[in-house]
């Protein structure tokens, strides 16, 4: 059971907009930044979003992040086949004094 809650799966067709949610609590998302990672099959995770809504260099602006209260979300617009991957949210948890991850969301591009 992960501290951060994500839907196990999401899907969309090419060109669509998809949103992945991440729900936490006051000790993690509610008081700290949220990070998002993309893990393509057989590869290491890659940072997709930091400090809630900041994109690292090289990440397309089709990806956007937001946070409100104890929840965060990752939106992918103009869905492409290469976006098919697992997506994880993460945040520091003050109560646990450690980093926590969501269980991951498998995105399928139909």
Q: Given the complex with other proteins, which of 30 and 103 has the nearer CB atom?
A: 103
Count of residues interacting with other proteins (CB under 8 A) = 25
Rule CB under 8 A: choose which of 13, 68, 81, 97 binds other proteins: 97
Q: Given the complex with other proteins, which of 2 and 77 has the nearer CB atom?
A: 2
**97 in the Ramachandran plot: left (φ > 0), alpha (ψ -120 to 50) or beta?**
left
Residue 95 engages other proteins in binding (rule: CB under 8 A): no
Residues 16-75 that bind other proteins (CB under 8 A): 35, 37, 39, 44-47, 50-51, 54, 56-57
Contact 69, 30 (CB under 8 A): yes
What tokens were used for 103?
Answer: 């269980």
Q: Given the complex with other proteins, which of 77 and 94 has the nearer CB atom?
A: 94
Burial 61-79 (b: 16+ CB within 10 A, else e): eebbbebeebbbbbebeeb
Which residues are within 8 A (CB) of 1 and not within 5 positions of it... i.e. 6 or more apart?
none
Minimum CB distance to other proteins, residue 27 (Å): 14
Number of alpha carbons in the 13 Å side-chain half-sphere of residue 16: 13
Question: Which residues of this protein are in contact with other proteins, per CB under 8 A?
Answer: 2, 35, 37, 39, 44-47, 50-51, 54, 56-57, 86, 88, 90, 96-104
């Amino acid at each position: 059971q992960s501290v951060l809650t994500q839907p196990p799966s999401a899907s969309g067709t090419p060109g669509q907009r998809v949103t992945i949610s991440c729900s936490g609590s006051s000790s993690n998302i509610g008081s700290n930044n949220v990070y998002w990672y993309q893990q393509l099959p057989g590869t290491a995770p890659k940072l997709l979003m930091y400090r809630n809504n900041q994109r690292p260099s090289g990440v397309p602006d089709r990806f956007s992040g937001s946070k409100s209260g104890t929840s965060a979300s990752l939106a992918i617009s103009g869905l492409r086949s290469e976006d098919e991957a697992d997506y994880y949210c993460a945040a520091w948890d003050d109560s646990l004094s450690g980093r926590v991850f969501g269980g991951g969301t498998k995105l399928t591009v139909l």
